[in-house]
Amino acid sequence: MKIVVLDGFTANPGDLSWNAFRELGELTVYDRTSPEETVARTFDADVALTNKVVFDAETLDALPNLRYIGVLATGYNVVDLPKARERGIVVTNAPSYSSESVVQATFAHLLNLASSLAANAAAVRDGAWSTAPDFTFSRGPLTELCGKRLGIVGFGTIGRRVAEVAKAFGMEVVAFGPHLTVGSEPAPGVRAVSLDDLFSTSDAISLHCPLTEATKNLVDAERLTCVKTGAWLINTGRGPLLDEAAVAAALVSGKLGGVGVDVLSTEPPSPTNPLIGAPNSFISPHTAWATREARARLLAIVAENLRAFAAGAPINVVN
């Protein structure tokens, strides 16, 4: 079995092992692959492993030997699933490998916004504390999370874990999801509310919903008119959940008190992305998923998926 990893660097920049895949066949690993290189590098392969390299209908039709695509991620929109199904190509993903890491990143952003950590640390580096007249100062508001309301949009595995951690901080938690009944208690101490109620009453809003046609630009100019003035917005889900220009404008006007995002609509972003440089905008470069522990789980799941396929009983099949 010939196995090709097309963009392995982000999942394994060298601190993990590909040996589990070498045990299953003849392995070739590329750090990165351009669209123009995809067909040539995969032409003789039985198995392709991809994170962001796209397998559209045209590409799939050009790969007569391909029998399996393993996506090195939970999302699998990089593969044309109907075409893969038509061709008899099995497509699998890696569910839930990064949940704990994403929860951690969510609270890293929330705690930064609550405590002005980045602004204060930068001020100290610039010498402001050394020349301050007092023993303490702050370059932004200092806010206690206990008693504040956190609104969680999307109440799957990650949303539920975020709620648990928020409760440990003493926060009031409300949630919205398409399958939640308004007024119900989908988890202990969590109340389901409408989306309008969540945005208009929450002190902090955290997005954990999938990207669909219904959720694209979920947070747009109209939605932002309803938010509680000074609220914080956190997005560790998908970049296109935000209308980035509208969010930047809300930061400039003060309607939003701060934004913490780990994802943008285009990655890497253009330097003209409106959120880059907007006031109180804090952007991490899509690292929430990428702890060593999460990446190790990712490779283990992908290897087990491939092992099951080789045994004739594929798991985590998405097509």
- State how many domains the chain has: 2
The residue-averaged pLDDT of 138-163 equals 97
The residue-averaged pLDDT of 188-204 equals 97
Q: What pLDDT sits at residue 241?
A: 98
Task: Clarify whether residues 22 and 167 are in a common domain.
Answer: no
Q: What pLDDT sits at residue 207?
A: 98
SS (H, E, C) 156-221: CHHHHHHHHHHHHCCCEEEEECCCCCCCCCCECCEEECCHHHHHHHCCEEEECCCCCCCCCCCECH
The residue-averaged pLDDT of 200-216 equals 95
Task: Clarify whether residues 91 and 107 are in a common domain.
Answer: no
Task: Clarify whether residues 108 and 84 are in a common domain.
Answer: no
Q: Is residue 317 part of a domain?
A: no
Q: Is residue 319 part of a domain?
A: no
Q: 221 pLDDT band (50/70/90 cuts)?
A: very high
Task: Clarify whether residues 193 and 243 are in a common domain.
Answer: yes
Task: Clarify whether residues 109 and 78 are in a common domain.
Answer: no
Residue-wise pLDDT for 112-144, tens only, equals 999 999 999 999 999 999 999 999 999 999 999
Domain limits for position 80:
2-95+292-310
Task: Clarify whether residues 279 and 306 are in a common domain.
Answer: no
Residue-wise pLDDT for 286-318, tens only, equals 999 999 999 999 999 999 999 999 999 999 999
The residue-averaged pLDDT of 202-206 equals 98
Q: What pLDDT sits at residue 200?
A: 97
Residues identified as active-site: 238, 267, 286
Q: Which residues pair with 260 in a beta bridge?
A: 234, 282
We report the CATH number of the domain holding residue 140 as 3.40.50.720
The residue-averaged pLDDT of 137-159 equals 97
